[in-house]
Amino acid sequence: MASLGAMFGAEEVNTFMGLPGCPDLARPGAGIVLMGAAGCTPYPSVGFYCGGGPAAIRAAGAAYAANLAHMNFDLGGPILPEGTAAVDAGDVPVSEADPEGNRARLRSAVGQVLAAGAVPVLIGGDDSIPIPMLQALGEAGRRVTILQIDAHIDWRDEVQGERWGLSSTMRRASEMAHVERIVQVGQRGIGSARMGDVADALASGVEFVPAGEVARAGVWRAVDLIPEGAEVVICLDVDALDPGVMPAVIGRTAGGLSYWQVMELIGAVAEKGRIVAFDMVEFMPERDIDGLGAMVAAQLLAGAMGVIARQG
């Protein structure tokens, strides 16, 4: 079948947008290191239900391999401007049977990237993946603000006895001493949170910017809540996006953010502070419609990398 990539002469590539690989995480030779993970701490009822995410997002990115140096008007230049570089380190090995080992391997991989002075960009996989990434930032001595973009608040203390799963990500983050502030954007609809969990989050100092507010007034209050000069971790659950552009999620919820609202948030954070780590999770290929969600995920990921490459 004819494809966009073939039209523009993209060779077959295995990495995201044909970026160079990365044989040694400790010496990436680039300021941005992309890594995938099929999962981390699964709930037994669903397992690694986003396990195909990294491959699907890379496959969608392959279409742009021949266009990497072209003008991207979203960024005002090529994705990676002259003098910047990004590599794709492939996937961190994980297994549904070994969540503790998965967390250790993810912490170690992210830690190596941070030690090399690069920005880790992690693609999942479900929303349990950011937890070890956040721990690695603490081990590296970083003090961070988290900007979580998600339809759900992820403040469950445990689910089916599991404390490190995808519904507990922000509660675990709030317990980490090096996490100074959490701003959460995109909550909406039915099933976003339990009342008690919202109360706990607010009591801990979390600021919520619901999707309805973003629709009415834009992303700017969320940006105002990011401290000037902060080191920021952006945790993007793709279900924050409207299902009209991002159908590839386990639970579609009406009224989500647009591509531009998410790009505005990412760009504004990089202007106000510095993005020190980024994750994109919960992409579920089996739920996609004609590759629409994968295209949006790939373009958002490219856009985020372009913003990170440009920040001071």
Interface residues with Mn ion (CB under 5 A)? 150-152, 237, 239
Q: Which is nearer to Mn ion, 32 or 238 (CB)?
A: 238
Q: Which neighbouring-strand residues pair with 149?
A: 185, 236
* Nearest distance in Å: CB 67, Mn ion: 31
Q: Which is nearer to Mn ion, 103 or 152 (CB)?
A: 152
On the CB side of 124, CA atoms within 13 Å amount to 33
* Nearest distance in Å: CB 19, Mn ion: 27
What are 15's two structure tokens? 């990495």
Q: Which is nearer to Mn ion, 32 or 245 (CB)?
A: 245
Q: Which is nearer to Mn ion, 112 or 167 (CB)?
A: 167
Separation of alpha carbons 189 and 24, rounded Å: 43
Q: Which is nearer to Mn ion, 151 or 305 (CB)?
A: 151
* Nearest distance in Å: CB 118, Mn ion: 27
* Nearest distance in Å: CB 48, Mn ion: 16
Separation of alpha carbons 251 and 115, rounded Å: 36
* Nearest distance in Å: CB 203, Mn ion: 22
* Nearest distance in Å: CB 97, Mn ion: 25
Q: Which is nearer to Mn ion, 181 or 188 (CB)?
A: 188
Q: Which is nearer to Mn ion, 66 or 246 (CB)?
A: 246
> How large is the angle between the packed helices 130-139 and 99-115, nearest 10 degrees?
50
* Nearest distance in Å: CB 4, Mn ion: 29
* Nearest distance in Å: CB 297, Mn ion: 14
Q: Which is nearer to Mn ion, 67 or 128 (CB)?
A: 128
DSSP assignment string, the chain: ---HHHHTTPPP-SSGGG--B-S-TTS-SSSEEEEE-S-SS--TTT-STTTTHHHHHHHHHHTTGGGTTS-BTTTTB-SS-TT--EEEEEEPP--TT-HHHHHHHHHHHHHHHHHTTPEEEEE-SSTTTHHHHHHHHHHTT--EEEEEE-SS----S-BTTBSSSTTSHHHHHHT-TTEEEEEEE---STTS--HHHHHHHHHTT-EEE-HHHHHHH-SHHHHHTSPTT-EEEEEEEGGGB-TTT---SSS--SS-B-HHHHHHHHHHHHHHSEEEEEEEE---GGG-STTHHHHHHHHHHHHHHHHHHH--
Separation of alpha carbons 77 and 71, rounded Å: 5
Q: Which is nearer to Mn ion, 61 or 130 (CB)?
A: 130
* Nearest distance in Å: CB 154, Mn ion: 7
